[in-house]
Amino acid sequence: MSYQAPLKDMLFAMQELAGLSKVSALPGFEDYDIDTAQAVLEESAKFCEGVVAPLNWEGDKNPSSWKDRAVTTTPGFKEAFKQFAEGGWQGVIHPPEFGGQGLPKLIATPCAEMLHAASLSFALCPMLTDGAIEALLTAGSDELKRKFAHKLISGEWTGTMNLTEPQAGSDLAAVRSRAEPQSDGTYKVFGTKIFITYGEHDMTDNIVHLVLARVPGAPEGVKGISLFVVPKFLVNDDGSLGGRNDAWCVSIEHKLGIKASPTAVLQFGDHGGAVGYVVGEENRGLEYMFIMMNAARFAVGMQGISVAERAYQQAVRFAHDRVQSRDLAGSAGPVAIINHPDVKRMLLTMRAHIEGARALAYVAAAASDAAHHAPDAAVQAQNQSVYDYLVPIIKGFSTEMSVEMTSLGVQVHGGMGFIEETGAAQHYRDSRILTIYEGTTAIQANDIVGRKTLRDKGAVAKALCAQIAVTEQDLAAHDSEDCAAMGQALKQGRLALESAIDFVVANGKSEPKTVYAGAVSYLKLAGVVLCGWQMARALMIAQDKLDSDPAFYTAKIITARFYAESVLPQAAGLLQAITQAGATTNRMSVEMF
């Protein structure tokens, strides 16, 4: 059940597909070349493999526990988080002026992937803290930044995001928590928040809650929501901790997976009101919270890739070790099951999906870096639009993929996969939440239809398709059977995606229920094709560099060819579901169910 970071594939995706050299040429990133990136990744791998990964199974067996409004985390988590903070890992992507390291997102992303692969439960705490930091740095006052940002970036404190309430799941218009202004400029916050990841724990001295609530007289709906910082312990002017705030954990959930991560029910204001500080302006809280949510959605997509990679590695090891049945070629005795064609099919399916999704995520990370650091405003805007389009795909497609791939991991183990002691089932259980939190797959799909396709009439999506068409021309210029097969499959996938975009744009306003019934299929189609695009690019690079590392690049070529023949053909079926099944879905009346 050990984990080994796939450094070679990570570096390949960063350098060859995401364009690390272009990122390191951006202002402020000049020091982050391939040698620096490799050094950072190697250090991250040491920590994740040696310190965090051994805790994953322990966290499943001995989850966090709650007693007397306090949470005790899994044995070893507190010590590991202390090492995480001391190593500076919480601050890798955050600005140096607040104590961070200011690394490009392209380098920080594989570090996050390793941490999530080592233990999803552990990594959730710094993941949510990253979102809180980003929201504070974007919208918080200088005073809030001074009081909270440094401690969060150093890892001395952690952060949470508090959206959901018992009556308000994904519908944030139904939020009822309230915040009453006080004469000293603070607010008293009252309400109940549920599903708060690491809302209470024992790993740091303070927890900084970012809480959505309404002020008196606020407009109805999402326009009347404000965002507040509500610390577990109040903070004195000199930065020292003050008294306990009126924010308490009243229970934690018992879950299918990620059991070591405490999912808290938090009660604010039962004893006079929790002291809070408004972030930015009143009634703009949802706008600020979306900063956190967008960061978290990309991160959850990386979680899907991470847990799929962990499951793949375990399945490969098991398939090498498990001896059963004769080889179909007629061996004298039983062989390791990795020799059997269907086991190879399952492992290649896992590998191809993971490599494609990883590459697409790293490409998106590079686009984010350019969006924030390119000297030209037009280049910034172009990259931001690409990143915005890709985020719901990375979140939705990669997490749906992870459920399928971890399930295949169980299947490779056979009956032993259903036995908890092998650990295969944990990856399957842990992955199941990923398609749900930070916005379900349907929410991501609605986003890509409404905000990312209809709003610009498919302009960004079609621009990506135009880039895919250029890759098809490059494939045709490579004189190889593998490139020809990929070129044909990629073209069919691109044409299917273009047809889906046209259908969404043509019918999104006139037949919204028909279009949105096919939204998840549209998201999956985009994921299949865009990941296939990255696999096609990888294939050509692997062919060009084959002699320099035959084993690595031959495996790349075969994996890409497998994607072309086994995954990209799904595009045609997904297009049919988008254009035809939506109307049929809505023929079914509520009463018929």
Is 331 within a domain?
no
Is 360 within a domain? Answer: no
User: How far apart, in whole angstroms, are the C-alpha atoms of residue 360 and residue 285?
Assistant: 31
Report the alpha-carbon distance of residue 460 to residue 571 in Å, rounded: 19
Task: Kindly state whether residue 366 falls inside one of the protein's structural domains.
Answer: no
Answer yes or no: is 459 within a domain.
yes
CA distance 152 to 229: 13
- Residues whose CB falls within 8 Å of the CB of residue 445, separated by 6 or more in sequence, listed in order: 392, 396, 516, 519, 520, 522, 523
Instruction: Look at residue 520 and tell me if it is in a domain.
Output: yes
CA distance 494 to 465: 6
- H-state helical runs in 376-480: 377-413, 424-431, 441-449, 459-477
Q: Per the domain annotation, does 172 fall within a domain?
A: yes
Q: Is residue 273 in some structural domain?
A: yes
**Is 317 a domain residue?**
no
pLDDT in tens, the chain (593 residues): 699 999 999 999 999 999 999 999 999 999 999 999 999 999 999 999 999 999 999 999 999 999 999 999 999 999 999 999 999 999 999 999 999 999 999 999 999 999 999 999 999 999 999 999 999 999 999 999 999 999 999 999 999 999 999 998 788 888 999 999 999 999 999 999 999 999 999 999 999 999 999 999 999 998 999 999 999 999 999 999 999 999 999 999 999 999 999 999 999 999 999 999 999 999 999 899 888 788 899 999 999 999 999 999 999 999 999 999 999 887 778 999 999 999 999 999 999 999 999 999 999 999 999 999 999 999 999 999 999 999 999 999 999 999 999 999 999 999 999 999 999 999 999 999 999 999 999 999 999 999 999 999 999 999 999 999 999 999 999 989 999 999 999 999 999 999 999 999 999 999 999 999 999 999 999 999 999 999 999 999 999 999 999 999 999 999 999 999 999 999 999 999 999 999 999 999 999 99
* Owning domain of residue 195: 54-87+119-283
Number of neighbours of residue 488 by Cβ within 10 angstroms? 16
* Residue that terminates a domain, selected from 283, 315, 350: 283
Q: Among 257, 283, 309, which residue terminates a domain? A: 283
Q: What CATH number is associated with residue 148?
A: 2.40.110.20
Query: β-strand 157-162 against 206-213: which pairing, if any?
Result: parallel
Q: Which helix (H) or strand (E) holds 335?
A: strand 334-336
DSSP for 232-296, please give it: SEEE-TTS-EEEEPSEEEEEE---SS-TTS-EEEEEESTTS-EEEEE-SSTT-HHHHHHHHHHHH
Domains identified in the chain, total number: 2
Among residues 283, 307, 322, which one ends one of the domains?
283
Q: Is 584 exposed, middle or buried (0-12, 13-18, 19+ CB in 10 A)?
A: exposed
Active site residues: 438
